[in-house]
Amino acid sequence: MSTTTPTESGGLAPVRTDSLAELLVAKERPPRPSAWSASMTFGWRAVLKIKHVPEQLFDVTAFPIMMVLMYTYLFGGALAGSPKEYIQFLLPGILVMSVVMITMYTGVSVNTDIEKGVFDRFRSLPIWRPSTMVGYLLGDALRYTIASVVMLTVGMILGYRADGGVAGVLAGIALLVLFSFAFSWIWTMFGLMLRTEKSVMGVSMMVIFPLTFLSNVFVDPRTMPGWLQAFVNNSPVTHLASAVRGLMAGDWPAGEVAWTLGWSALFVLVFGPVTMRLYNRK
């Protein structure tokens, strides 16, 4: 026992208090970072985490591929005659659905950070308060982009063709990522509000399943009963799916794009302040 202890702590170099003293003498402080710079730094942290824990990309790679394959072959024959024809309709929608579903992991990562104890360090820093949250969302925007690219690739292998070309596809993805960024403020709120990771997951499921399934992602809402149509036609996910579908098909669905942007603004304006209130009060 006594022989292992010295070798173990011997591996750890001693603290050099003399050089520490020299470092502490410097009392000047650089000016505080701008809101943008602080947010980008937190975004960089999210990227570093992806680098160290690449498994966390599972939900933006394997999960979306599964979604595309599953629904194309499950519903394709019944709803559109063949999977190949169905995917032309389904792909933009399933893209929207999967990415919106993936957003709920934001709440889980916020909650985990609180548990792990890095959170209070950030909260004690003299920086623009929302930058921590914006940082999470910037990192997540990258994940959403990865998911979109993965799904598009799979879709194209299965026969999806975007008439809107590269510009249409890029515009569609940009709108989707923007909406997801705004929508995620719901999850930052829950991540701060709920006590455990499990409860965050549970509540997220309750919100995300009805919201994404009760939309025009799979079928035309005209086949639904009237009361459901009323909900589906006004759901933000429906507007987003129509807008993305239109953009990728080479149209300019101005109304749907406007609705999507309106919903996005609403999400930020309502859940942003609630999140920040919880963040400051935590």
Partner 1 sequence: MSTQTSGLAIETAGLVKTFGETRAVDGVDLAVPTGTVYGVLGPNGAGKTTTVKMLATLLRPDGGEAHVFGHDIVREADEVRGRVSLTGQYASVDEDLTGAENLVLLARLLGHRKPAARTRAAQLLEAFGLTEAAGKQVKHYSGGMRRRIDIAASILNTPDLLFLDEPTTGLDPRSRNQVWDIVRAVVAQGTTVLLTTQYLDEADQLASRIAVIDRGKVIAEGTKGELKASVGAGSVHLRLRDPEQRPIAADLLRRALDAQVQTDPDPVALTARLAAAASHDTAAEHAARALNELARAGITVDNFSLGQPSLDEVFLALTGHDTQQPRPGRDDSHDPKDEVAA
Residue closer to partner 1 (CB basis): 37 or 234: 37
DSSP string, 56-122: GGHHHHHHHHHHHHHHHHHHHHHHHSSHHHHHHHHHHHHHHHHHHHHTTHHHHHHHHHHHHT-HHHH
**Integer Cα distance of 195 and 214 in angstroms:** 29
* Residue among 23 and 166 whose Cβ is closer to partner 1: 23
At closest approach, how far in Å is the CB of 111 from partner 1? 14
**Shortest CB 46 distance to partner 1, Å:** 10
Q: Nearest distance from residue 12's CB to partner 1, in Å?
A: 6
Output the smallest distance, CB 180 to partner 1, in A.
23
Pick the closer one to partner 1 by CB: 98 or 131.
131
Q: What is the 8-class DSSP label of residue 31?
A: P
Nearer CB in complex with partner 1: 29/222:
29
Name which of 3 and 9 has its Cβ closer to partner 1.
9
51 exposed, middle or buried (CB, 10 Å; 0-12, 13-18, 19+)?
A: exposed
d(CA 266, CA 272): 9
Compute the distance between CA of residue 99 and CA of residue 94 in angstroms, rounded to an integer.
Answer: 8
CB of 146 to partner 1, least distance (A): 18
State the Cα angle at 245 between 241 and 248, rounded to 5°: 140
* Interface contacts to partner 1, rule CB under 8 A: 9, 11-17, 19-21, 23-27, 29-33, 37-38, 41-42, 44-45, 48-49, 52-53, 113, 116-127, 281-282
